[in-house]
């Protein structure tokens, strides 16, 4: 039985490894996309504009309140049509098909972005207001203040939450197999169907996810330690 997960022509090891690489690529791309969205909508929520706050609130409420699979289906079936509609406005009448990777990244990124919005918003609010006032008193420009004063503190405060968002994003990639993208779950299902050994391949899938999780856990721990340098922990 174990020869089925070896590398080479007789085993599925090569395919499972490629599936794991695809999972990592989609997860990292989705998290990066989600952080961009999260930063944007966190700024909307902290804005003085009622319209921007309403837009951000609508986005986070809808995405977090709707099942992830439904969001993926919505973007999978409606994303291509939306792109073609926009293209027609600019005069392009050809057919446009989005790749499963692009659809998966956008869908999972939109989901992670909703959670990242609250994480980043909470981190910004947790920075003492005196830090902003002190920077303004010193005559710092907004971009310098954001880069040198605010960002290191926001990163330190947001990293634990972003680590949790990463875990959710990693698990959500299992849902995008419905788009035809061959990641860990899709490849495990194909192998299980071909060999009639579902228990073996789904067990391997579990260990592959746990391997990625353990590596990412170490990464986020080191990142937290790096950004926490110079800060004194308060004992409760």
Tens digit of each residue's pLDDT, the chain (236 residues)? 667 777 877 788 889 999 999 999 999 999 999 999 999 999 999 888 999 999 999 999 999 888 888 888 888 777 777 777 777 788 777 767 778 888 889 889 999 999 999 999 999 888 887 777 777 777 777 777 777 777 888 888 898 899 999 999 999 898 888 888 889 999 999 998 888 888 988 999 999 999 999 999 999 888 888 877 656 555 54
- 96 in Cβ contact with 84 (< 8 Å): yes
CA distances from 134 to 31, 193, 195 (A): 33, 63, 66
The two most distant CA atoms of the chain are separated, in Å, by 70
For the chain, the structural domain boundaries read 17-227
Query: Using CA atoms, how far apart are residues 169 and 68, in angstroms rounded to an integer?
Result: 10
- Is it true that domain 17-227 has CATH number 3.40.50.720? no
Tell me which residue of 161, 171, 167, 149 sits closest to 224, measured CA to CA.
161
Query: Using CA atoms, how far apart are residues 167 and 21, in angstroms rounded to an integer?
Result: 16
What is this structure's pTM? 0.85
Structure token pair of residue 204: 């391997």
Structure token pair of residue 119: 């994480």
């Amino acid at each position: 039985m174990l020869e089925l997960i070896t590398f080479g022509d007789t085993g599925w090891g090569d395919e499972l490894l490629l599936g794991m690489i695809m999972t990592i690529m989609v997860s990292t791309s989705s998290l990066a996309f989600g952080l961009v969205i999260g930063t944007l909508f966190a700024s909307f929520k902290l804005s003085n504009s009622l319209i921007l706050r309403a837009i951000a609130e609508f986005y986070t409420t809808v995405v977090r309140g709707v099942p992830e699979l439904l969001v993926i289906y919505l973007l999978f079936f409606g994303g291509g049509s939306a792109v073609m509609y926009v293209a027609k406005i600019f005069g392009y009448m050809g057919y446009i098909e989005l790749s499963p990777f692009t659809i998966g990244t956008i869908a999972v990124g939109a989901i992670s972005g909703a959670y990242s919005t609250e994480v980043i918003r909470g981190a910004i609010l947790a920075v003492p207001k005196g830090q902003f006032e002190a920077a303004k008193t010193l005559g710092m420009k907004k971009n310098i203040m954001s880069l040198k004063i605010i960002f290191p503190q926001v990163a330190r405060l947001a990293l634990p939450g972003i680590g949790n968002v990463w875990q959710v994003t990693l698990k959500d990639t299992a849902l995008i197999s419905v788009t035809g993208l061959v990641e860990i779950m899709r490849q495990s299902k194909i192998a299980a169907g071909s060999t009639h050994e579902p228990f073996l391949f789904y067990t391997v899938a579990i260990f592959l996810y746990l391997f990625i999780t353990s590596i990412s856990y170490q990464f986020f721990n080191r990142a937290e330690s790096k950004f926490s340098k110079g800060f004194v922990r308060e004992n409760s």
